[in-house]
Structure formats: C-alpha cells, structure tokens
Structure 1
Amino acid sequence: METKKIYKFIILMGFVSLFGDTVYEGTKGIAGPYLYSLGASLFIVSFTAGLGEFLGYALRFISGYFSDKYKTYWIFTFIGYGLIASIPLLALVDRWDIAVLFILLERIGKGIRSSARDAIISFATSNIGRGLGFGIHEAFDRLGSIIGPLVFLASFGLTGSYKTGFLVMLIPFILLMMCLILAYKILPNPSVMEKPQDKRYDSKILYVYMLFSFFAIVSFPQYPVISYHLKMHNIFNEQIIVLLYTIAMVFDLIFSLLVGRFYDKWKFKVLFLVPIATFVLPIFAFQVSKFLAVLGIVLYGFIMAFHQSVMRAAIADLTSISKRGTVYGLFNLIFGVGYLLGGIFIGYLYNLGYFHIMIFALLSQILSMYFLI
C-alpha cells in the first residue's frame, strides 16, 4: 500500500480515537465529582477507577488472543467502540451504583477493542515508524481528550446539569462509528501490511518489560482519584477540575508526538523517564496547594503520553506478527492488574495519610527502574 494511503488510514483511525475520547475523556474528568454528587465515597470512586482500568486492560488479553487466532481484528474493534454508547446513557441515571455499572461497561468496551486496534495500527505503521505512527494516533486521541471536557464544560456551564453533558456525547459517538467504517474500507485485512521477518524474539526480554510496565503503573493515581481530592478539599470547583483535565490532555498530546519520535531514535532509553515522573506525581497531586496541583496535572499528561504511545510501540518491537494481538493483550492485562491494585492501594493509603502513598510510590518505582535496567 502506498504511503499516502497509509497516512490516510492512520488519520482516520486517529479520528476514531478523537471522537471516542471526546465521549469518554469528556466525562472522565468529572467522574469523581459526579459520583460524589450521587453519594459515592472516595473508596468507591478509587475502586471503580481501578476496576474499570483492570477490566479495560484484562479483557484485552482475551480479545487479543482471539483476534490473532481468528484474524477478527475488526470485529473486536467495532464491538468495543460500540459500547462507548454507555456514556451518553448516563443521562438516564440517578443512582451511583447504576452510574458505576455504565462507567464499567465503557471500560469493558475498551478492553474488547484495544488489542485488536493496536495490532491493526502496528501492522499499518510497520513501514513508516511505529513510534511516529502510535504518536500520531495518540495525538488525535489526546485532541479528543481536550475537546471532550470543553464540550462537557460548556453544556454543564449552560445548564448546570450533568445529564445534559452526558447526552451531548451522543453526537461524537455517531461520528466515531462513521470514521471507523471508512477506515475499515481502506484496510479490511491489516495483517498483510507487515512482511514476516526471520528475527527471533527473546521472550525473557518481553517478560522483563512486562514487569517494568506493571511497577510503573501500580502507583500511578487515576484522574478520578485526583479530581476527588481536588473537590473534597475545595481546591478547585467542578468547572476548573474539568479544565485542568483538558490541560493535562494538551500536554499529553504535545509530549506523545515528541516521545514517539525520540523512541524511534533511542528506543528503550527514553522509558527511564517513566518511573522518575511517576514517583514525583503524587508529591504534587495530593497537596492542597493550587500551584502544586497544576504542576501535578502537567506531569499527569507527560506520563500518559508514555503510557499510550511509546510503551505500546515497544511491544511491536518485541513480538512477531503472529502473536501481536495476544502479546498486546498480555501487556494490557499487566496494565489492568496494575491499575486495579493501584486503585485499591491508593484509595486505602489515602485515608491513612499522604506519607504512606509516597512510600508506596517510591518502592514501586524503584522496582520499575530495576527491571528496566
């Protein structure tokens, strides 16, 4: 396939993620305060965030395996994106437990689609540079994360209603499904894009990389937890909290393009920044200072750029074509377990005191650095 057509495909898949993140990320920043308004505790919010990420990542192992076995990359991708419809359905909810269910359904959809989608992108970008390809995709993804909160903020500001904000998200959901259909028509058989190679892959290196990823993730606080902290201590109101999430996504967008290019040049060396930044994040995020909170938001975006671009791109450089979806699934399972345990530990340690979170972050990131070395 000619390069121009490859870029067209990547851009279309970028728009799919843009509209998908407009829906999900547009409401993620307000999820903590929203559940708080329905009567949920901090532990429920933290556990939901952790469980949601666990489901969103753990299911990728299953979907990745079956997408490899039956070459059904597109089927899993379409089903997974279809479940994003659960976010607009939050407009019909008045109970925190039902809201949690819908939030988890969206995460399940992400688990179904992500490994297959990542495999598709890895095939399509094999000849143009995976760091660049995943960086472009992540940039569109983050652009949606910027637009989404602004759309929600505008509707919430005009009506003062969470439900209106959720209902508006039906529009980008329809647009994402249209773009997905167009992308499928360009590349219905994605695995033919990458030529089989004779290169042997060392499974030990892959497993060590998985351990690095787990410990890099486990002390990373999710934004619903950070936003809950900001709201509970009256550091910022709901509108500012959503705006801060938008700022985080702006930095994620910028950094994803930069670190993607750096990865293509320096490969795994750039990953040493991840444990350092992840250790520093809770130092800023769980303070009562507005200035430190903003610094924490910028750092949150920086770390997310690594999670969603180069850490994904690295998997393709460690695996063969025939196992690509399965290994992406395993990688995402490791991420999911890290998010789940992290959500539980951080939610519990938060009640014990800030110092306990810092010790947890220090120990986990020392281990992360050890496995990367």
Structure 2
Amino acid sequence: MNEVFKTFFQKSSTSTTSSDIPENSASARPQELEDTGSISSKKELVAASIDGDAENFSYNSKILATSEETEVRPEFDKEMKIDDVEDKDLISENVQIIKCPIPKIIEEHDIGFLMFSNPADAIDKRIVNGTTAADGQYPYQASLRSNNRHVCGGSILNNRWVLTSAVCLTEGYQLVVVVGTNTLNAGGDTYLVATYNLHPLYKIADRRYNAGLINTTTPIIYSSKVKPVVLTTLLPIDGAVAVVTGWGYRDDYGQLSRNDLIALNTTVISQTACQSQLKRNVSSTHICTFWSQTGPCIYDDGTPITICGMQFGIVSVRNCGINPDLHTKISSVYSWIVSMI
C-alpha cells in the first residue's frame, strides 16, 4: 500500500503497529497513539502520520483522552477571523471554523480509519440553512425506501453493509437501499435487504444506542458517486460545525418535502446546554447539535452527521430546528459495528 494514511487513536490499552493491521480486514482497528504526557490528569495524544511527514498535513489534531470519551481539538493553520471568511452569514461568534484535508479511502472495505493521501487544498466551504448538494458530493449517502417512498437515511460502510438508526428498522418497512443519486425520483442503484441488525442495547424509550446495520443481498458497486464513509470515534468539541445530509421534510408538519439531497450546517453543543434546552436528561451515548431554524427533520432518521467528511454520529432524535437534535455517537456503537461486519 503506497498511499500515505493517518490514524488517530484507539481506545484500548493494547498498542499495535501498522504491520499488525491486516490490509484486507473489515475489522482492522486504528493504531493506538503513543502517550506523550499529561495535562491536568488527562493524557494528551498527538496525531501522527505513518510516514512521519506531519508537515504535509494541513489538519493536525490534538486529542484529549479520558476514560469515558475523547474529544478532537483542531489546530488551525492560522487564527481564523470573521474578516477571513468571504460570506459573513456562514459563521457566528460561537462557531469553530475547521479547515479539513480531503480524505481518501485507501481500501473499499476499511472503516474506522482517518486516512489521507497527499492532501489537496483544505475544504473551508460551509453550508448554512441547507443547500442542494452537488452531484456526487456525498457519495456515502444512502436512501432507505419503502414502496418507492424515502423513509430514512443511511451511510455506506462497505460493499455489503449500510449504517442507519435502529428506529428505521423497527417500523415494519419493507426496505430497499438506494445509492448513487441525489434525487429521489431519478437515478441511483437499488439493492435489496438480506438481513438487518439492531444494536442489542437499543432503547426505544430514549433512543439510546440507536443504531442499525443493513446487509444487502448483492455487493454495492462503487463509482464516483458511490463510496463508503469514514467512521471516527473522535468527538468534536463544542462549537464545531458539522454537516447533516438528507431528504427529510423542511418542517415538522410534513410540508415542503425534499426531492434533492440537502446539506446543512449544525453546531455541536454541550450536554449541559442540550439538557437545559430539552429539559430532560440526555444519554451519554448521544451528542447534541443545534442551529436555530434549521436541522434534520422527518425522514432524516439514520442519516450521517459528519465533520471533514468523517462520520461521528447518526441522526437519532430530530427536532426540525426547534430544539437541539440528538445523534448516536459512533464511539458508543463502534465495537458492535466492527463485530457485526
């Protein structure tokens, strides 16, 4: 494998090397990074590329790891100011603008890695209040349909598995998976469902561990518009801007359904702020986001939420821009995903 790739961390006490990771294994795990010291009783881990040429990467993450969860803290090439952004409407004072390298999947079956080829220009375009996605811009996006009607979203993990929310698999739908198209009424490739699995700890009452896996009857064929997503167990810091993609309704009354795939920005908020606004406890398996008057809505369940093209959550409880949305953390279901596929 000639491509340069980058792995961030593995929440495990056992260290591995790149030679320990089988190239053709869907259950391959990221390399654990070396402990470089401590900060206020927390361990600071610094991302490093396999070839050691870290200067070639425009995005250098520092990770603060605790025994419970891990946060990714981006470092910027320079301090970003409002004047540096052409469209002032794309940001707010509490939003972190993150410059991202363009990720590249090294192997079709690999998941859970953050892997990069020689980086191209950093992505700094931000989408606010939703905009029509460019053709092939989100090749991992899947539409779950029943009787030719879109009912849920999902993300392609590899050529046989699609990740979605458990709630999408408990409604009695006779589902098919459609990939490779941004429109609901044209194009794309359709795959029948062989089996599906719910996370064993899924709780319908509060949507804990709201994750499901779909196995297709035939392999998903990759193309420029059909590619697997990159999963990450890293958690973004509060204020980080994330992207949600989907075809759900524009409001909670079933009005203005979307025929075209829409991408919108939302902001990660703290669990404390989330609980305060929702006026109830929020499970540690969830991460909260909110952007006033915009957000995932009806039929957006199961769709991916990403930063820099890396999926860290699954839309679990959507409130159509009225209240914060809850997303199942990939970190809370990652081990189960790997064990199943």
Same fold flag (TM > 0.5) = no
Structure with greater helix share of residues: 1
Higher relative contact order, structure no. (Cα contacts within 8 Å, ≥ 6 residues apart): 1
Q: Give the TM-score taking structure 1 as reference length.
A: 0.27
Structure with greater strand share of residues: 2
Q: Give the TM-score taking structure 2 as reference length.
A: 0.28
